[in-house]
Structure 1
């Protein structure tokens, strides 16, 4: 018998204590097929619902998320270790996404009238395509799910979710919240499945779209599998975002924003600030203040309101992060603060700064998914932009400068990345597109763009 047939279970672990939280049984292959079929049947009814009425259901999901805020926030903190305050902020963001989607959805999906070259009339409609399958990570257990599912539902599609195993409880609670909001049975379904079963979901003929948020390696695998099955895909992958501190930057403001940009969500964010490129003229001042601020970050129990940095989500992830630090040091990087695994229960890692970061080191080339900052010196503003773009990634980035017009021009014309933040660190904004280029993936979410990723843009022409 296979692992799944013997009902092997998922065990979730609290990263703050290292102790077991809960167990969940995998679904059988037959249960998965039934769930997909139910989602498809629910979709066939849902697609007939008007965008205006769909928007009302999306609003209801937002209200139910708000009603469940404390329960959901506590579960996220228990499962992946973010501070309780930031878990609450995540739920607030999810509520805002529902509100924004319900407001713009009917307008974005409205059929367009067009004039044709021959004087005839044309119409462009946005028809739902069917069941959309989302494979989501653990670092934002609610936001990552709400981001794609609410857009897909608003467009008229059905939604399946495979959540990361260590946040299985959050995935199941979200399914419950969606049902409590009045969503039809089966229209949003959390699948508790293995990777092999996930591959079969992608192949299932009733599944029409696949979206993944994860690592570039995972993106390559899922992208290939979706393409092999001729399924539309959206990939939001990792990054090594550069934040440029230019000659005329407000150093104190830049330090404050850069520290928060590196430690927010325990540093486990694809769009987190990771490489800090300061020009030579102000490098020493920025370096001294930045290292001091990072060394003073309060690490501890994420349930404590005074804690600024909780644990890394899993032991293996913490160990991988430390190995990247060690290998960077072996290749010439220097530890300015942090860099040691503390002797305490849980999977903690201190706020760390590496300097003398050079090409060929993991600190320069790779994504550090945890509170480790790479500090790099540039000759001048032009050199800083060169270094920023010297990366296989391109999700987000930032520029600190008192000349905001010049910074905006630099961002729009020269920064090879999907999102740029001026004098701030990056957070998701429901009204703005979210996504990247190069190894950071393709496709866009938010800002109305996500509503049309999984629709049939249909041309109807008449005489």
Structure 2
């Protein structure tokens, strides 16, 4: 895949980049290693100042950055602005809290003094996706850099300008040269990077195949990895729920980022007693959404990021229909003009046992399922290989307790949309990956948890 900015709204190739040569990669690795030897001894106060500066740059230039995100991957501009603002939030969160998160912890033992010390590992490789070009990177970089590590970013090949912009932000914020570097390279170079002794660990957000490949390469080298992979999150609505609020949230939860989000609600599991009403309300709202130029402020749904994603989604919908599903709205790629556009789509009656019902639809497509009761809802919610997030709606406390206890996911949101928050750990189970980002758990992923015992 070429490293290039290709406008998904028009199909126009904006800018093409050469992949780094082996010599250039070697230079960046050497630069990162040299930087770490000094950066690891900088104080939390220094790192915090630089990260606060990065947050200031993000806030001050959020519109320009957002336009770049929209240009490269097609998300509505208003959503892109919100993404950049959230990156500033996560920078400030770790700038303000990292020192406490990584402070020595005294433990009473038979020693005169015993404690736990957290120390940086070195170069951390981040393999990041295109769907949230800034957020995915900053939620890794903010804790990693505050812990004293240095970062190498291998970003998705269709967002190279975003990748370079992030490196420039850290540079302008005052971080020492080499502490954060972008590598414009193809996926074929990742295994060699992981094999290099200077790279101590890796994190990846992306597809299952990409995660499996990275984990296998790291496993051969006995290196730590954190993986955040796909999801087919359930959105459960039971009879006692506030139906209007649930429907309004369902639209946002499915259409976030043009439907291209790992934690987007994808399977809507509705109690039979309210299913007709839910379906009617959701259909009306889907049909009212405006598909078009993501740079325009009134656009709700922009294009999918690449033609391949559009083709894959269209094929999945065709399989769903062939399996017995019925389309209530949408269900076809928009062909009038250039761009990777797919309309908001609702599919009902897909047999839950069919393999297509267990796949992740990465675009504005909602699958609706009807269930008799909470037992059936929980069973259907768990009957997939994924376990990233789940949203469930009820005003019955016993149902709430069961949903929290029994749903198999890294996050369960009751009466709210699944979202990432710097204050809460984020990650999945099963084939959605392992490890956690954000919160105190996220910053502890890439440190040496050192036991110290002194007599």
TM norm structure 2: 0.98
Distance in 1, Cα, partners of 2:158 & 2:186: 13
Distance in 1, Cα, partners of 2:57 & 2:36: 21
Distance in 2, Cα, partners of 1:319 & 1:53: 48
Question: What residue is the counterpart of 2:72 in the other structure?
Answer: 79
- Three-state SS of the structure 1 residue aligned to 2:17 is strand
Distance in 1, Cα, partners of 2:429 & 2:186: 29
- After superposition, residues 396-407 of structure 1 pair within 5 angstroms as 396-403=389-396, 405-406=397-398
Distance in 2, Cα, partners of 1:292 & 1:362: 28
- Three-state SS of the structure 2 residue aligned to 1:448 is helix
Distance in 2, Cα, partners of 1:129 & 1:413: 35
Question: What residue is the counterpart of 1:316 in the other structure?
Answer: 308
Q: CA deviation digits over 1:123-170, x for unaligned, max 9?
A: 100000100000000000000000111111011001000000000110
Question: What residue is the counterpart of 1:178 in the other structure?
Answer: 170
Q: Structure 1 residues 407 and 171, CA, compared in 2 at 3 Å: closer, same or farther?
A: farther
- Three-state SS of the structure 1 residue aligned to 2:194 is helix
Distance in 1, Cα, partners of 2:390 & 2:164: 33
Question: What residue is the counterpart of 1:97 in the other structure?
Answer: 90
- Three-state SS of the structure 2 residue aligned to 1:420 is strand
Question: What residue is the counterpart of 1:161 in the other structure?
Answer: 153
Deviates more, 1:238-247 or 1:52-61: 52-61
- Three-state SS of the structure 1 residue aligned to 2:154 is strand
- Three-state SS of the structure 2 residue aligned to 1:165 is coil
Question: What residue is the counterpart of 1:332 in the other structure?
Answer: 324
Question: What residue is the counterpart of 1:241 in the other structure?
Answer: 233
Selected match of 1:41 from 22, 34, 37: 34
- How far the C-alpha of 1:440 sits from its partner, in A, is 0.3
Question: What residue is the counterpart of 1:106 in the other structure?
Answer: 99
Distance in 1, Cα, partners of 2:413 & 2:296: 30
- How far the C-alpha of 1:66 sits from its partner, in A, is 1.4
Deviates more, 1:342-351 or 1:203-212: 342-351
Kept in 2: contact 1:327–1:361 (CA 8 A): no
Q: Considering only aligned residues, what root-mean-square deviation do their CA atoms show, in Å? A: 1.2
- How far the C-alpha of 1:263 sits from its partner, in A, is 0.5
- How far the C-alpha of 1:10 sits from its partner, in A, is 2.3
Question: What residue is the counterpart of 1:452 in the other structure?
Answer: 444
Q: Structure 1 residues 224 and 289, CA, compared in 2 at 3 Å: closer, same or farther?
A: same
Gaps of 5+ in 2: none
Q: CA deviation digits over 1:273-327, x for unaligned, max 9?
A: 0000001111111111112211221111101111110000001100100000001
Runs of 4+ in 1 over 6 A off after TM superposition: none
Question: What residue is the counterpart of 1:138 in the other structure?
Answer: 130
Distance in 2, Cα, partners of 1:333 & 1:234: 36
Kept in 2: contact 1:32–1:191 (CA 8 A): yes
Kept in 1: contact 2:258–2:304 (CA 8 A): yes
Kept in 2: contact 1:407–1:422 (CA 8 A): no
Q: CA deviation digits over 1:315-342, x for unaligned, max 9?
A: 1100100000001111111111100111
Kept in 1: contact 2:104–2:115 (CA 8 A): yes
Distance in 2, Cα, partners of 1:170 & 1:407: 44
Selected match of 1:272 from 239, 264, 271: 264
Question: What residue is the counterpart of 1:428 in the other structure?
Answer: 420
- Three-state SS of the structure 2 residue aligned to 1:76 is helix
- After superposition, residues 50-449 of structure 1 pair within 5 angstroms as 50-116=43-109, 118=110, 120-344=112-336, 345-361=338-354, 363-403=356-396, 405-406=397-398, 408-449=400-441
TM norm structure 1: 0.96
Distance in 2, Cα, partners of 1:298 & 1:386: 35
Gaps of 5+ in 1: 1-7
Q: CA deviation digits over 1:358-387, x for unaligned, max 9?
A: 234454110000000010011111211111
